[in-house]
């Protein structure tokens, strides 16, 4: 830690995992490089999967509990970080994948106002083809059926699920998906109907941007070269899944790529774009911020391949995958 008596900037990291997995532990996202800098690093955990994102479309389970956990952490930082040498008036929230998705939602959530001053979203954004629902009762019912609970009503679902252990809930995760681990974002943040609760997300984030309801802060948006390509191996390394995707392309593409509706035209367009090697860029969040945010927005693509990577070839044991930085 710096010997300076001046409070240090604070960096908050929100972990990845599709809102159903991973954690903020140091063995998952090692802090060593950052700890050599004059900052105070805070990593957090939040409830995941059904524990964090169950929503039944009524007052019994309005939704977004995992994101409200994040808000609680940010409030704690405001009240306590000075005791750790941090500056509560210079907090940057950052996140990767689902964490980057979360960061953008904090910039439009009324619950997060005043809790941070800069933002970084890496490889994750809610400004995309993904449709944020107002509830996910179908997932609550699927979870209930997997654990032999009644689905007669929201109360029946919740009363039964609350008797199950965290291990039982966790062990049922694989069976919640449609094909392999698709859709990638199974549990989603929702646009919360008003049941008298404090709402994390009262409107779609793009609508909030367009209406000027964003907490205006300097923002960095990024992605990696060959973003998420390793996800394809869960299909390609399984002959049954490969054949299913090949023969039922329209149905599976709608699930895998979060198409709003199983349109053959949309699926065919994606097939042409991806399988014919046409370039597709996922920079829509940066474009929206450049239009609607009064603060500076930056976008970069990271392509450095070091000794290790998120995906390493199982045969060669080598990481697989140039870097540009521009002001939007």
127-175 pLDDT per residue, tens: 877 789 999 999 999 999 999 999 999 999 999 999 999 999 999 999 9
* Residue 12 C-beta-side C-alpha neighbours within 13 Å: 30
* In the block, residue with structure tokens 């944020």: 132
Do residues 214 and 262 both lie within one domain?
no
Question: Does the residue 142 lie in any domain?
Answer: no
Q: What is the pLDDT of residues 17-50, one digit of tens each?
A: 999 999 999 888 788 888 899 999 999 999 999 9
Identify the band that residue 3 occupies on the pLDDT scale cut at 50, 70 and 90.
low
Structure tokens, 251:
């149905």
Domain boundary among 245, 262, 279: 279
Query: What average pLDDT does the chain have?
Result: 86
| Domain shared by 104 and 34, yes or no | yes
For residues 269 and 316, the model is more confident at: 316
- Same domain assignment for residues 250 and 298: no
Residues 268, 216 within the same domain: no
Residue 15 lies in a domain: yes
Question: Residue 305 domain-assigned?
Answer: yes
The Cα 122–Cα 223 span in angstroms is: 6
Q: What angle do CA 233, 175, 135 make, to 5 degrees?
A: 105
- The pLDDT, as a whole number, for residue 306 is 77
Does position 204 have pLDDT exceeding 90, yes or no? yes
Longest dimension (CA), the chain: 65
Using the predicted structure, report yes or no on whether residue 278 has a pLDDT greater than 50: no
Final residue of a domain: which of 279, 294, 317? Answer: 279
**Residue 82 domain-assigned (yes or no):** yes
My answer on whether 74 and 199 are in the same domain is yes
Judge if 211 and 196 occupy the same domain. yes
Residue 308 binned pLDDT confidence (cut-offs 50, 70, 90): confident
Residue 322 has pLDDT above 70, yes or no: no
Residue 151 placed within a domain:
no
Query: Which of 279, 294, 318 is the last residue in one of the domains?
Result: 279
Using left for φ > 0, alpha for ψ between -120 and 50, and beta otherwise, residue 239 falls in alpha
256 has pLDDT over 60: yes
Are 240 and 223 in the same domain? no
The percent helix, strand, coil of the chain (3-state, each to 5) is: 35, 15, 50
On whether both 88 and 197 belong to a single domain, the answer is yes
**Within a domain: 156:** no
Q: What CATH number does residue 120 fall under?
A: 3.40.50.1820
So what's the pLDDT on residue 268? 75
Structure confidence by residue, pLDDT tens digits, 58-76: 999 999 999 999 999 999 9
Could you tell me the residue range of the domain that residue 36 belongs to? Answer: 8-130+186-227+282-327
Mark whether 236 and 319 lie in a shared domain.
no
Structural domain includes residue 145 = no
Number of domains forming the structure of the chain: 2
CA distance 66 to 57: 16
Q: Are residues 299 and 267 in the same domain?
A: no
Return the SS3 of 205. Answer: helix
**What pLDDT, on a 0 to 100 scale, did the predictor assign at position 321?**
63
Residue 236 shares a structural domain with residue 315? no
Question: Are 214 and 288 found together in one domain?
Answer: yes
Residue 240, domain member (yes or no): yes
């Amino acid at each position: 830690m710096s010997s300076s008596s001046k409070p240090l900037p604070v960096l908050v990291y929100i972990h990845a995992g599709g809102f159903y997995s991973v954690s903020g532990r140091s063995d998952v996202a090692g802090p060593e490089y950052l700890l050599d800098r004059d900052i105070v690093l805070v990593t957090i955990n939040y409830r995941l999967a059904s524990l964090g994102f169950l929503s039944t479309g009524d007052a019994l389970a309005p939704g977004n509990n995992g994101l409200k956990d994040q808000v609680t952490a940010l409030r704690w930082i405001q009240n306590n970080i000075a005791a750790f040498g941090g500056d509560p008036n210079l907090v940057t929230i950052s996140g990767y994948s689902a964490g980057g998705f979360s960061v953008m939602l904090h910039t439009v959530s009324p619950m997060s106002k005043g809790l941070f001053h800069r933002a970084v979203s890496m490889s994750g954004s809610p400004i995309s083809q993904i449709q944020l629902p107002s509830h996910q009762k179908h997932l609550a019912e699927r979870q209930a059926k997997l654990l032999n609970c009644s689905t007669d009503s929201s109360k029946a679902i919740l009363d039964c699920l609350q008797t199950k252990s965290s291990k039982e809930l966790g062990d049922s995760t694989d069976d919640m998906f449609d094909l392999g681990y698709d859709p990638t974002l199974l549990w989603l943040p929702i646009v919360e109907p008003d049941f008298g609760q404090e709402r994390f997300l009262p409107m779609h984030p793009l609508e909030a941007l367009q209406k000027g309801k964003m907490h205006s802060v300097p923002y960095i948006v990024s992605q990696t070269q060959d973003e998420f390509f390793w996800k394809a191996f869960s299909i390609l390394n399984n002959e049954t899944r490969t054949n299913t995707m090949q023969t039922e392309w329209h149905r599976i593409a709608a699930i895998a790529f979060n198409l709003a509706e199983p349109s053959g035209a949309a699926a065919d367009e994606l097939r042409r774009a991806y399988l014919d090697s046409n370039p597709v860029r996922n920079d829509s969040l940066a474009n929206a911020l450049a239009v609607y945010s009064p603060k500076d927005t930056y976008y970069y693509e990271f392509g450095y391949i070091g000794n290790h990577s998120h995906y390493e070839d199982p045969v060669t044991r080598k990481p697989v995958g140039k870097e540009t930085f521009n002001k939007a």
